[in-house]
Amino acid sequence: MSFVEPFSLIFVSAGIFAGAVVSSLVGFAFSAVAGAVLLHVLPPTDAVPLMMACSTVTQVFSLVALRSSVQWKGNLLLLAGGALGILPSLYLLQHVDARIFRIGFGLFLAAYAGYMLLRPAAALLQAGPGRLRDAAIGFGGGFIGGLTAMPGALPTIWCDLCGMPKNQQRGVVQPFIAAMQLLALAVMLWRGGLSRQAMTDLVISLPALACGVALGIVMFRRVNDVLFRRIMLTVLIVAGLALAI
């Protein structure tokens, strides 16, 4: 089912716009926001590939817009660990029921963000350079992302615990999520999971997607570190609850 009908087009465009705004503002949660609309308008076979494609495009656009904050050299081990973490999670998805894990992780995410929202924005961990640590966080992010479609959750938590300012945090989380989603999209294309209809829907969605990304980036640049942290933790609560429910 396509959303070329006027009413469907309006609702889906609104959902994609909202998802792009939030994702471009905080760096993640496109599917948690857009899915609240898309899954009520389109069947899952159309909605899920469309959300994955739109989310990937959003991440790439945001990465280009915020490229001055990215330090690729320092993120290589994080990215390599994430790529390795996706592999066992894809295997588990085919052989076990990941629903319990998703519910548990969603509740943990909401509880963590709710607790941290009540604390002042201060570093709880003193993190120096650590290759093994970076690789482990990347592996965990990729593994969790493969089971929950939220690869940025663990790196975001780590950045928050270290008290990173918003630009430094986005410089770590943005390329990681973009790389993990590009990898997941490549796997979907290899398996033939992105149909011609999904590609058509993606093209139709581009205006709403572009407007949402532009607004989200403008908002990100205007908010201060304290407000950004509050917004980010609030989005984590919503995303965690959505994952659990």
Query: Cα(162)–Cα(96) distance, rounded to whole angstroms?
Result: 34
User: Residue with structure tokens 């975001």?
Assistant: 156
* pLDDT band for position 124 (cuts 50, 70, 90): low
**Closest Cα to residue 209, out of 34, 36, 40, 32?**
34
Lowest mean pLDDT among 17-26, 85-94, 156-165, 204-213: 85-94
pLDDT at 1: 45
Query: Cα(173)–Cα(179) distance, rounded to whole angstroms?
Result: 10
pLDDT at 6: 64
pLDDT at residue 3 tops 50: no
pLDDT at 93: 73
pLDDT digits 0-9 by tens, 39-59: 788 777 677 778 888 888 898
pLDDT digits 0-9 by tens, 217-239: 999 999 999 899 999 999 999 98
pLDDT at residue 33 tops 80: yes
What single-letter DSSP state applies at residue 165?
-
pLDDT at 70: 80
pLDDT at residue 130 tops 80: no
Domain boundaries, the chain: 6-244
pLDDT digits 0-9 by tens, 177-186: 988 888 877 7
Full-model pTM: 0.83
